[in-house]
């Protein structure tokens, strides 16, 4: 029930309850919380316009500042998570979002040597020598221990988790093999 005594629809954003449902006991519980939220994506001007919990598409700055429910809350939760947690798992992020990259840089600065990052992506040898936002961010998060030409997906067999200092790089993409998943978890909680 809202403060004014009206009932909300089940799909509406409840700012008061937001902090209580940010964390889940398992992946299935988290999925059920957003099930049915998707489906309203459309393309406009070559960009995706979405009502999903991901802040994407046109007018991102306006969504963050002028639409506090839900986007401002999601953004705040992201910032809080990055600043309060020393562990980070990034899967399939191409590092082309300056809002997020700014806070990932703050994450690296704040947590210094205590941070542990696992980055799962699709780095292939065609990218060697090419400067990309993803490689720049990996370099920053790994405390400059990412070496171009050494940390790429291999075609000769399974791709291991590669040690890049504060960051472990899974250049094979997602999903990863069970032994690599175990290595990721061991690194992040270790």
Q: How far apart, in whole angstroms, are the C-alpha atoms of residue 172 and residue 150?
A: 13
Indicate if the pLDDT at residue 124 is higher than 90. Answer: no
Q: pTM of the prediction?
A: 0.72
Beta-carbon contacts of residue 87 (< 8 Å; ≥ 6 apart): 115, 116, 117, 188, 189
At residue 155 the predicted structure's pLDDT band, cuts being 50, 70 and 90, is confident
Strand partners, 88: 117
Question: What is the C-alpha radius of gyration for the chain, rounded to an integer number of angstroms?
Answer: 19
Give the neighbor-by-neighbor strand order of the sheet with 162-164. 87-91, 116-120, 167-170, 162-164
Give the residue carrying structure tokens 């292939």.
Answer: 124
Provide the mean pLDDT of the chain. 79
Indicate if the pLDDT at residue 119 is higher than 90. Answer: yes
pLDDT at 3: 47
pLDDT tens, position by position, 4-51: 445 444 456 777 777 766 566 666 776 666 565 555 556 666 555 555
Residue predicted with more confidence, 168 or 44: 168
pLDDT at 30: 64
């Amino acid at each position: 029930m809202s403060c004014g005594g009206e009932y909300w629809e089940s799909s509406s954003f409840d700012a008061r309850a937001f902090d209580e449902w940010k964390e889940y006991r398992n992946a299935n519980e988290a999925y059920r919380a957003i099930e049915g939220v998707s489906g309203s994506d459309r393309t406009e001007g070559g960009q995706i316009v979405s009502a999903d919990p991901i802040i994407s598409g046109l007018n991102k700055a306006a969504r963050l500042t002028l639409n506090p429910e839900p986007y401002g809350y999601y953004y705040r939760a992201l910032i809080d998570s990055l600043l309060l947690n020393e562990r980070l798992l990034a899967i399939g992020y191409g590092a082309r979002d300056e809002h997020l990259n700014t806070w990932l840089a703050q994450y690296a600065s704040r947590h210094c040597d205590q941070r542990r990052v696992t980055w799962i992506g699709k780095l292939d040898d065609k990218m060697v020598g090419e400067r990309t936002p993803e490689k720049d961010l990996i370099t920053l998060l790994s405390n400059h221990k990412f070496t171009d030409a050494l940390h790429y997906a291999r075609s000769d067999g399974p791709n291991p988790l590669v040690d890049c200092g504060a960051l472990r790089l899974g250049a094979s993409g997602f999903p990863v093999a069970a032994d690599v998943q175990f290595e990721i978890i061991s690194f992040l909680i270790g």
